[in-house]
């Protein structure tokens, strides 16, 4: 039996975690079902639990607006159940959180882990901000991601998602290159780090700029136009977080994240090779 239990293995991030922890157990259990979680822990006796389960909505977070109970159960109740069951057994608990709990650029320097969440404009973000705050006083490692992407085409990959949009937002944002996230996670887990970490690449880039590079590198025939923040409500029902996070805390741990430009370029070049 593996020493690591990972929840959410059928999801986008969970599948990526399988590449780093191939021997982990990936139970397909409801994380909010305390009796089941307790049984899994008693049977497997893990020393590490990673939570990559949660409701993110299909096709997008607008779904959470009309499925609030399911979203609350998975994004708040579930993490609290895992916390309690891990605390009882002294299990190291790692929770995949989100940077989509901020709006703005944190006075120009990017929001740090100490800044209070200031965006609850969607029910999804509200639940992620709540779990972030509720877990914060406990010895839990929280990894905040932001619009994850790599070179693998897929409906959850930021680059693939943007390539399907006719109009693309021109607001700079933090983003997370999945290979950088996976190696940061591995390093933090090895150190048994606790607390919150913004796991984002250095700098900021707008979705529009990403598509300009996509057109140049991957598909010169791709066409799209600019969407301003003011026009965003024309294409989504719930508000969206647009924010820049600081990764200075990660750097202080000696963890290097590529610049957003380098990470996007790397993913696009590999994507192009795959397509040709």
Inter-residue contact 7 to 24 (CB < 8 Å): no
What is the three-class DSSP state of 36? helix
Please say which residue, 7 or 177, places its beta carbon nearer to ligand NAP.
7
d(CA 105, CA 243): 6
Coil vs helix vs strand at 276 = coil
213 near 73, Cβ under 8 Å?
A: no
**Shorter beta-carbon distance to ligand NAP: residue 105 or 157:** 157
Instruction: Please identify, using beta-carbon distances, which residue of 98 and 198 lies nearer to ligand NAP.
Output: 98
What whole-number distance in Å separates Cα of residue 120 and Cα of residue 126?
A: 4
Which residue sits closest to ligand NAP, CB atoms considered? 11
Which CB sits closer to ligand NAP, 225 or 237? 237
Question: In this complex, which beta carbon is closest to ligand NAP, that of residue 105 or of residue 173?
Answer: 173
Taking 3-state DSSP, the helix, strand and coil percentages for the chain, each rounded to the nearest 5, stand at 40, 15, 40
- Least Cα distance to 207 among 248, 239, 165, 179 occurs for 165
Q: Which two tokens stand for residue 119?
A: 């965006």
Nearer to ligand NAP by Cβ, of 18 and 191: the residue is 18
According to the 3-state scheme, what is the secondary structure of 138-183? CCCEEEEECCEECCCCCCCCHHHHHHCCCEEECCCECCEEHHHHHH
Contact 173, 206 (CB under 8 A): yes
Q: Minimum Å distance from CB 157 to ligand NAP?
A: 9
Q: What gap in Å lies between CA 202 and CA 102, rounded to an integer?
A: 17
User: Which CB atom, from 19 or from 225, has the smaller least distance to ligand NAP?
Assistant: 19
Q: Closest separation between CB of residue 220 and ligand NAP, Å?
A: 27
Q: Which residues would be at the binding site for ligand NAP (CB under 6 A)?
A: 7-8, 10-14, 30-32, 52-56, 73-74, 78, 96, 98, 128, 145, 147-148, 156
């Amino acid at each position: 039996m593996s020493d690591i239990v990972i929840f959410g293995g059928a999801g986008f991030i969970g599948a990526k975690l399988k590449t780093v922890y191939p021997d982990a157990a990936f139970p397909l259990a409801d994380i909010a079902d305390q009796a089941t979680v307790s049984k899994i822990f008693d049977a497997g006796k893990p020393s590490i639990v990673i939570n990559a389960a949660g409701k993110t909505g299909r096709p997008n977070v607008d779904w959470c607006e009309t499925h609030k109970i399911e979203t609350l159960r998975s994004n708040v109740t579930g993490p609290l159940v895992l916390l309690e069951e891990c605390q009882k057994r002294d299990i190291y608990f790692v929770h995949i959180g989100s940077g989509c709990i901020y709006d703005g650029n944190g006075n120009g320097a990017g929001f740090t882990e100490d800044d209070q969440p200031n965006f609850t404009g969607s029910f999804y973000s509200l639940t992620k901000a709540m779990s972030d705050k509720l877990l914060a006083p406990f010895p839990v490692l929280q990894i905040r991601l932001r619009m994850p992407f790599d070179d693998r085409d897929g409906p959850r990959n930021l680059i693939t998602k943007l390539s399907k949009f006719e109009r693309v937002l021109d607001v700079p944002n933090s983003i997370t290159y999945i290979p950088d996230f996976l190696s940061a996670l591995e390093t933090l887990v090895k150190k048994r780090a606790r607390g919150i970490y913004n796991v984002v690449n250095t700098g900021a880039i707008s979705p529009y700029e990403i598509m300009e590079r996509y057109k140049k590198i991957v598909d010169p025939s791709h066409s799209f136009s600019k969407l301003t923040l003011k026009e965003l409500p024309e294409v989504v029902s719930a508000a969206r977080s647009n924010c820049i996070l600081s990764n200075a805390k990660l750097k202080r741990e000696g963890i290097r994240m590529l610049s957003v430009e380098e990470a996007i370029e790397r993913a696009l070049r590999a994507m192009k090779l795959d397509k040709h």
